[in-house]
Structure formats: C-alpha cells, structure tokens
Amino acid sequence: MQKAILEHFSEEHGIELDINSQITLIPLVGEGRIQDRVDLLLCQLVASTDATTGEGEAEGESSTTTGTSTIATGSQEESKNVRALRQADTVLISAHSQGVVVSAHLLDRLIDMQIIDPRKQRVGML
C-alpha cells in the first residue's frame, strides 16, 4: 500500500512524498462479525499501544466503554495513532469487501469521539 501511494503521487501528480514525515500508515487487522470487528479495530486504534509495533505504555491507563467493548486509553497522553489522526490534513481509509462496511462504522465512531473532524480534515474512503 505504501509503495503504491508513493508511486501514484509521483507518476500521476509529480509529487514526491517523504514517507517518514508526510504519510502515517495505521494498519488494522481483525476478524469476526461486523460490530465485533469495529470494536476490535477501534480498540487497536485508540489504545495506548501502537497498532503497528505493539509497543505501548501500561502506566496511567484507564478504560472507557464504547459500544460493546472496553477501550484502554492513556489518561496522560494520547496514543501515537490518535495523535496522527488528529493532526492529519487528510485521512484516507482503504478497505475491500466486508472491510468497507467495517471501515464506515469505524469512521463514524472516530468522528463521534472527535478523533477525526471532517469539518477541518479531508476524509476519503478508497
């Protein structure tokens, strides 16, 4: 995905992006029924653990119930993923098949939680 994004912007638009400073990839993986997957992916995304590395802080965590799941959130500091989403100029969500439905529900939750603000950010689903 990362390589395809860089190639697309370079070839189609003549824009060279620095993957380390201009694009943040947040891969999420989950199985099960739609609502279960939404809950699982939301936990992965907002937990103080970085979903891409599995690293996180156990100190100062609290839990918040959202829907049918309990989400661990750092009480002193937002997760790296949440910070990246809040600071993003554009949020693009890529999914296929049943993941499209899951992504739509996940985006709805992120907007409700004010992690993504479509009034200030461009949001697209691919």
Q: What is the pLDDT of residues 31-68, one digit of tens each?
A: 999 999 999 999 999 885 544 445 544 333 333 334 43
User: How far is CA 60 from each of CA 22, 76, 77, 101, rounded to the nearest angstrom?
Assistant: 30, 6, 9, 33
Judge if pTM exceeds 0.75: no
Apex 126 CA angle, 47 and 54, nearest 5: 25
| 79 burial via Cβ count (<10 Å: 0-12, 13-18, 19+) | buried
List the single range of 23-37, 70-84, 93-107 with lowest mean pLDDT: 70-84
Highest-confidence range of 8-12, 13-17, 94-98, 105-109, by mean pLDDT? 105-109
pLDDT at 78: 82
Phi and psi torsions of 48, nearest 5° = -70, -5
Tokens representing 80 are 């790296």
| Average pLDDT in the chain | 79
pLDDT at 108: 97
Q: What is the pLDDT of residues 59-76, one digit of tens each?
A: 333 333 344 333 444 444
> Which helix (H) or strand (E) is 70 found in, with range?
strand 69-74
pLDDT at 12: 93
